[in-house]
Chain A
Amino acid sequence: GQSLEQPSEVTAVEGAIVQINCTYQTSGFYGLSWYQQHDGGAPTFLSYNALDGLEETGRFSSFLSRSDSYGYLLLQELQMKDSASYFCAVLTYGQNFVFGPGTRLSVLP
């Protein structure tokens, strides 16, 4: 079976740092992606990790540990516009992405 776990909600204030964790159990694993989705919108790509370690892209960083089946998304210098749902997604051997349940991030002023 396939299962991914994420916290359902996270709240933080502007300027803060937030880490959203993701653990996974899937049949086959190529890599871990993170997507952002604002209410009513489509998911947009944030990052992809195929190898262990930290990948940094501006204010966002993503980490992967394949041995622990674990990854996280780190958001720094939070802004109000970062309020959205964040999904981790595993790229499986079936060539499709399996999405986690999503974490709703609320950024407060």
Chain B
Amino acid sequence: GAVVSQHPSWVICKSGTSVKIECRSLDFQATTMFWYRQFPKQSLMLMATSNEGSKATYEQGVEKDKFLINHASLTLSTLTVTSAHPEDSSFYICSARHLGGNRGDTEAFFGQGTRLTVV
């Protein structure tokens, strides 16, 4: 199946610094990728939809100036958490849908996730 690679898998940073998370589709092109956040024992909450070559679409309540998304190519989207605070500590997961795959576009492939801890 299609593979989505996310890096880093975990990161610890100091409060006030910025962290960049990369999401790559390894064997298919993804014009759209999605960024989710998951707090412990909770569900995945969509943060934003990343569109190649255009601005990301953010969900209500998500600060676009704090969570910068760049989708510069058909295989790479990045999420930068700026001026991180302890409350930003969470599990961040990207996903991409493989249009034209065996299941058509009905399956979302997820990266491994990034566990961010802000101290």
Contacts and interface: CB of A to CB of B under 8 A. Distances in A.
B113 A96 contact: no
A60 interface: no
A50 B42 CA distance: 26
B93 interface: yes
A70 B115 CA distance: 33
Given A48-B103, A50-B106, A96-B34, A42 B46 contact: no
Secondary structure class of chain B's binding surface, majority of residues = strand
Interface residues of B, number: 24
Given A42-B93, A42-B111, A42-B112, A99 B44 contact: yes
A96 B43 contact: no
Interface in B81-101: 93, 95, 97
Contact of B108 (A30, A33, A50): A33
A43 interface: yes
B110 A43 contact: yes
A41 B113 CA distance: 7
Interface string B24-54: 0000000010101000011111100100000
Contacts of A101: 42-43
Interface of A: 30-31, 33, 40-45, 48, 50, 87, 89, 91, 94-102, 104
